[in-house]
Chains A and B, each alone.
Chain A
Amino acid sequence: MFVTASSPTQDSLGAVNGLAQTATSIMRALGPVSATSFFAISVEKNLLGGNFVYFVLILLTIVAFAAAQLLPDEPWPRETGEEGSQIIHQNTTYP
């Protein structure tokens, strides 16, 4: 919802979605490798009693939480409320 609503114009919706998919695909490629490697390393070297991986992931959660605070309370309003989206558009008026 935020990604599609962030698109500046209707025409750029495809480009924005493409960029978002690219970014998440890169993350999805890196995620399992790093997470399972961190798990293996923390067990092998007994970092923080083998709990180092959880420490790293909770740090990541804090970063993601901070990033979430950059978003507005509701997705940016659109000119037209298409797609049958569930959000209530504050500025949508019905005659």
Chain B
Amino acid sequence: MRSPGHSKSSLGTPGPETPLLSSPGPVETSLTPSLFTVVTPRVQRAILNYSLLSLLDITFVALQPLILSTSVDTGGLGLPPATIGLALGIFGLLDGIIEITCFAWMCRKIGTRKLYSVAIASFAGAIAAFPIMNWLVRRQGLSLMVWVVMGIQFAIIVLDGMAFGE
């Protein structure tokens, strides 16, 4: 009963007489089934969604400063670093304030799944804003329209940030 060789087959908790030396065995095997039993279908769905959300978010976060600083010919906006810093700083401040004040209210008003779906769907708009801004800059330079589109894009990202609350 005390032989550590049996620990693989007997997945139960270590008995009270289990010696100290063999304790890593039973502890390890008792963890393994619990990790598998935890992965129920709804856990899979929740984790799948969380993973996809963070993948979308991180691709945007990685691309945003890259595209803002890339030259206009190569598909960016060609903004100087100081302007990018200012824009991202203002956005971050507003993002924080809006999410603190509006998240709970919107969640109740719209419904959790619906708000999440809307946030995910609106991501397409945030991504599409990049080529639209580039096209605008090519046509008319850094016009007011470019900043309007960027403002809309920021608003969408605020909404997306709310998806992380769900």
Contact = CB atoms under 8 A, between A and B. Distances in A.
B124 A75 contact: no
Nearest to A42: B75
Contact of A6 (B43, B59, B67, B117): B43
Contacts of A92: none
Interface string A39-80: 100110000001101100110111111011111111110000
A71 B45 contact: yes
Contacts of A53: 63
Interface in B105-126: 107-108, 111-114, 116-117, 120-121, 123-124
A68 B113 contact: yes
Interface of B: 34-35, 37-40, 42-43, 45-63, 66-67, 74-75, 103-104, 107-108, 111-114, 116-117, 120-121, 123-124, 127-128, 130-131, 165-166
Given A19-B39, A39-B67, A87-B107, A31 B120 contact: no
A30 to B, nearest CB: 7
Question: In terms of DSSP, what is the predominant structure of the interface of chain B?
Answer: helix
Contact of B52 (A34, A42, A63): A63
Lowest 10 CB-CB distances: which A-B pairs, in order? A32-B62, A31-B58, A35-B59, A6-B46, A64-B52, A27-B55, A24-B54, A86-B104, A12-B38, A23-B51
B46 A65 contact: no
B77 to A, nearest CB: 13
A2 B107 CA distance: 13
B59 A31 contact: yes
